Amino acid sequence: MTLAESLPTPSRHREISGSRSPARMKSIGRLTGALYLLLAIIGGASYFLVSETLIVHGDAAATTQNILSNEGLFRAGVAAWLVTALIDIVIAYLFYWIFAPASPRLALMSMVFRLIYVSVHAAALTSLFGIISLIDQGAAAGMPDTVLRLAEAHLNGFMVSLLIFGVHLMLLAVMIYRTGAVPKLFAVLLMLAGGAYAADTFALALLPTASAASGYIDHAVTTLATAGEIGFLLWLLVAGIRTPHVR
């Protein structure tokens, strides 16, 4: 079955509801899990290999030198971020399709928040394209402060987007808990992960980056996001999803 054949097609509510056999739901659940895994791999590589490795916070000269010395990696990282945006849009629709019959308002809200998250991060990505423009013009080496400012502007925009993503996860957790589409353990884990993302964004605004509390929050985000999102996507890959029911 091709990806196009697996995707549910928009239609009248009656026609969509009629296609929700257990086998169909399991197939859509596994497709969602596969896309989520792909998203985690590509997004994780972009963040840790580019944003965390090439950008040295507070050191404009080192950041610029890293980017210029690894220009291909930097450009690939920006392109990978764009791919994750496209995958996120598909996942947003799939979750809506899965939960809309049982919880239409929450499903719509959850999809909207995920799409807003994608939009905010996409807007932040324009800062990285600003760095690419400086490279193409041969001006990056002579403007290290501008390069660092653009790189950090992207990271700040990404952090803002994670607050919105956290709300999406919490709405998804509520739908899972109410409908029994997957074990309720994942509702708890996703609720914690969503709260951790939101706390991390507020910590960026309220706490010094070098503070102990900020470090604890970063560790909590890593732990809870791994347990919640990775555990959830692995469940979807292996077991798929049950037809949600209003409870």
Q: Which of 73, 69, 63, 72 is nearest to 144 (CA)?
A: 63
Question: What pTM value is reported for the model?
Answer: 0.88
Which pLDDT does position 14 carry in this prediction? Answer: 42
Alpha-carbon dihedral sign for residues 231, 235, 237, 241: negative
What is the rounded average pLDDT of the residues 61-67? 97
Q: Could you read off the pLDDT of 180-238 as tens digits, one per residue?
A: 999 999 999 999 999 989 988 998 888 887 666 777 777 877 888 888 999 999 999 99
pLDDT of the residue at 13: 44
Mean pLDDT of all residues belonging to the chain: 90
10 Å Cβ neighbour count for 217? 19
Question: Could you give phi then psi for residue 59, rounded to 5 degrees?
Answer: -125, 95
Q: Give the C-alpha distances (Å, rounded to integers) separating 220 from 52, 210, 240.
A: 18, 16, 28
Nearest to 109 by CA among 87, 36, 117, 7: 117
Residues 29-50 have a mean pLDDT of 94
Q: Distance between CA 241 and CA 180 in Å, rounded?
A: 9
C-alpha torsion 92→95→97→102, nearest 10 = -140
Q: Residue 110: what residue type?
A: S
**Rounded mean pLDDT of 88-104?**
96
Q: Kindly tell me the number of DSSP H helices and DSSP E strands found in the chain.
A: 10, 0
More confident residue, 170 or 19: 170
Structure tokens at 92: 């947003």
CA distance 132 to 68: 10
Residue 154 in tokens: 């992207």
Q: Is the model's pLDDT at 95 over the cut of 50?
A: yes
What is the percentage of the chain residues whose pLDDT exceeds 70? Answer: 90
Distance of CA 84 to the CA centre of its chain: 8
How many CB atoms neighbour CB 10 within 10 A? 9
